């Protein structure tokens, strides 16, 4: 575990497992979490020879928490700087939820720079909210309500989010683990990133993705409806959709064995 400076006095936490692995997977977490959500993949993938790099986005987890810099452009710039600093080549880029949106912006903004494959998990994309010609997802008012809850009672907001996050039954201790991860973020970072979720539109980014792409999405997702994945499949060339019949938004855990085996299958292609 180490830190990389992406702007003056702004450092990003990097977890680097099995640095001598044959292939590198770079993970970007979702809102309002941190890299620890991938625990149940990190337990497995290094055993198959993969180097697993994950980060805490600015404002989240153990990374620095500046007041500004939560647009998809800036977050994808941070990813680019980390990839360059570490000299990474031909990586497999994995994004979950808002992290998938950041990964898409990275692919578009930097022309897939040093990425050989893309994996989108429960992606908050191509748009998290309903727009003209896009009748899927939350309304802007519903996101505003999430932001209002964050201003007034962030633990309660996270508790409410956790109640719809997983489709499978999870224990109270697991729910506490999930909520504690969310509480490591700065409140203002949680708010500003939610504003990006509301305001950003990635539909024009999709056509710029030119690497094999796996779209993993739960049919029971109550946060990013399955229609998001169908729209991504239409918009991204050379993509394959992997539906998970019994998974909600927490696709990395709801059908854990199936998810990990399907992930390995795509990685090996």
Residue 167 — very low, low, confident or very high, per pLDDT cuts 50/70/90? very high
SS3 200: coil
Determine the distance from the C-alpha atom of residue 79 to the mean position of all C-alpha atoms in its chain, rounded to a whole number. 12
- Dist CA 69 CA 13 (whole Å): 16
Read off the pLDDT of each residue in 187-204 and give the average, rounded to a whole number: 98
Checking if the pLDDT of 145 tops 90, the result is yes
The DSSP secondary structure of 120-179, one letter per residue, reads EES---S-SB-BTTB--SB-HHHHHHHHHHHHHHHHHHHHHHHHHH-SS---HHHHHHHH
Residue 168 has pLDDT above 90, yes or no: no
Rounded to whole angstroms, how far apart are CA atoms 142 and 92? Answer: 33
- Express as a percent the part of the chain with pLDDT over 90: 98
pTM, rounded to two decimals? 0.98
**Is the backbone peptide bond immediately before 32 cis, with ω within 30 degrees of 0?**
yes
Q: Give the number of other CB atoms < 10 A from CB of residue 148.
A: 12
Note the residue count of the chain: 269
Percent of the chain with pLDDT over 70: 100
Q: What is the pLDDT of residues 205-231, one digit of tens each?
A: 999 999 999 999 999 999 999 999 999
For 142-169, what is the mean pLDDT?
95
As given in the structure block, the two tokens for residue 75 are 């977050």
Instruction: Specify whether the CB–CB gap between 130 and 137 falls below 8 A.
Output: yes
Which positions are annotated as active-site residues? 97, 221, 249
Domain ranges, residue 144:
2-267
* Structure token digits, residue 17: 């497992």
Question: What is d(CA 88, CA 91) in angstroms, rounded to the nearest whole number?
Answer: 7
Residue 169 has what pLDDT?
A: 85
Q: What is the mean pLDDT of the chain?
A: 97
What's the confidence (pLDDT) of residue 54? Answer: 98
Domain count, the chain: 1
Domain containing 153 — which CATH number? Answer: 3.40.50.1820
Per-residue model confidence as pLDDT tens digits over 32-90: 999 999 999 999 999 999 999 999 999 999 999 999 999 999 999 999 999 999 999 99
């Amino acid at each position: 575990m180490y830190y990389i400076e992406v702007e003056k006095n702004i450092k990003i936490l990097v977890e680097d497992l099995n640095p001598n692995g044959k292939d590198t997977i770079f993970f970007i977490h979702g809102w309002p979490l941190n890299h620890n959500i991938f625990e149940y993949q990190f337990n497995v993938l290094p055993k198959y020879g993969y180097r697993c790099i994950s980060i805490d986005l600015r404002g989240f987890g153990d990374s620095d928490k500046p007041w500004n810099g939560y647009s998809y452009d800036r977050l994808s710039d941070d990813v680019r700087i980390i990839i360059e600093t570490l000299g990474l080549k031909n990586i497999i880029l994995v994004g979950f939820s808002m992290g998938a949106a950041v990964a898409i912006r990275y692919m578009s903004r930097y022309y897939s720079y040093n990425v050989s494959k893309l994996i989108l998990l429960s992606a908050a994309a191509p748009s998290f909210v309903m727009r003209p010609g896009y009748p899927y997802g939350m309304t802007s008012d519903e996101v505003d309500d999430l932001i209002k809850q964050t201003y007034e009672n962030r633990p309660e907001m996270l508790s409410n989010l956790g109640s719809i996050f997983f489709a499978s039954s999870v224990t109270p201790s697991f729910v506490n683990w999930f909520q504690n991860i969310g509480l490591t973020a700065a409140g203002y970072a949680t708010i500003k990133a939610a504003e990006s979720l509301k305001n950003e539109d990635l539909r024009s980014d999709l056509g710029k993705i030119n690497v094999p792409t796996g779209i993993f999405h739960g049919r029971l997702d109550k946060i990013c409806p399955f229609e998001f994945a169908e729209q991504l499949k239409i918009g991204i060339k050379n993509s394959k959709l992997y539906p998970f019949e019994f998974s909600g938004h927490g696709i990395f855990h709801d059908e854990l064995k199936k998810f990990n085996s399907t992930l390995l299958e795509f990685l090996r292609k």
